[in-house]
């Protein structure tokens, strides 16, 4: 992502309708998957950006977070999120195998050249039976200027996302018809 976007994201994530709406949707999904009786869990936010979502994830359990951009990590630290670690693109995650019950990666995978390799690493740190929450932009025909300034490598369809996840080792349920 362009460096000049981080300060704007940092300022807007707590009040802009787009960020608020997405956060609400993701939290509803997580509430269904991890009701209070299933908590606390261990979770990782992979590509946490400026860290605005981390405080909301704490309701589920213990939160770890990484990002590949030094500026993003600095914004996280300025929020008081000292647990956020800088992990360069393509580097192994600093966690043991099968550490997490949940891994979130929200609008991150499209930024990574080797998406399957990154997903493979997420699979490694996810416990058997754990959950992955991934969000990516859809449909290459929607490619535009925002994709370019955001340094996206691709957009996905259900088929291409499923292929990447399967190649990375994830077992996926069949698509509903």
Task: Please report whether residue 177 resides in a domain.
Answer: no
- CATH number where 101 lies: 3.40.50.150
Phi-psi map region of 16: left, alpha, beta (phi>0 left; psi -120 to 50 alpha): beta
The range of the structural domain enclosing residue 111 comes to: 5-167
pTM above 0.85, yes or no: yes
**What percent of the chain is modeled with pLDDT above 90?**
58
Other Cβ atoms closer than 10 A to 149? 12
Task: Please report whether residue 23 resides in a domain.
Answer: yes
Q: How many residues does the chain have?
A: 177
Model confidence over 103-125: pLDDT tens digits?
A: 999 988 877 889 999 999 999 99
Task: Please report whether residue 60 resides in a domain.
Answer: yes
How many angstroms separate the CA atoms of 82 and 65, rounded?
10
Other Cβ atoms closer than 10 A to 4? 9
Domain count, the chain: 1
Task: Please report whether residue 66 resides in a domain.
Answer: yes
What does the pLDDT read at residue 12? 67
How many angstroms separate the CA atoms of 12 and 9, rounded?
5
Task: Please report whether residue 175 resides in a domain.
Answer: no
* Residues in CB range of 83: below 8 A, 6 or more apart: 63, 64, 65
Task: Please report whether residue 174 resides in a domain.
Answer: no
How many angstroms separate the CA atoms of 146 and 23, rounded?
20
Task: Please report whether residue 99 resides in a domain.
Answer: yes
pLDDT(69) > 70: yes
Task: Please report whether residue 29 resides in a domain.
Answer: yes
Closest C-alpha among 115, 151, 148 to residue 1:
151
What does the pLDDT read at residue 135? 85
Distances (CA, A) of 87 to 8, 20, 67: 23, 27, 6
Model confidence over 119-176: pLDDT tens digits?
A: 999 999 999 999 999 987 665 555 567 756 666 566 688 898 899 999 999 988 887 6
How many angstroms separate the CA atoms of 149 and 167, rounded?
28
What does the pLDDT read at residue 1? 56
């Amino acid at each position: 992502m362009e460096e000049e976007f981080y300060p704007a994201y940092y300022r807007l994530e707590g009040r802009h309708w787009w960020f608020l709406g997405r956060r609400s949707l993701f939290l509803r999904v997580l509430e269904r998957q991890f009701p209070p009786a299933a908590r606390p869990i261990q979770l990782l936010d992979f590509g946490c950006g400026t860290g605005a979502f981390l405080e909301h994830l704490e309701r589920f359990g213990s939160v770890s977070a990484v990002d590949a951009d030094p500026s993003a990590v600095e914004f996280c630290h300025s929020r008081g999120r000292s647990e956020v670690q800088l992990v360069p693109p393509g580097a192994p995650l600093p966690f043991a195998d099968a550490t997490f019950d949940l891994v979130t990666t929200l609008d991150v995978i499209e930024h990574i050249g080797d998406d399957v390799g990154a997903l493979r690493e997420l699979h490694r740190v996810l416990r058997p039976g754990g959950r992955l929450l991934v969000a990516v932009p859809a449909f290459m025909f929607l490619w535009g200027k925002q994709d370019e300034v955001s340094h996206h490598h691709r957009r996905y369809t259900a088929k291409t996302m499923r292929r990447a996840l399967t190649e990375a080792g994830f077992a996926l349920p069949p698509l509903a018809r």
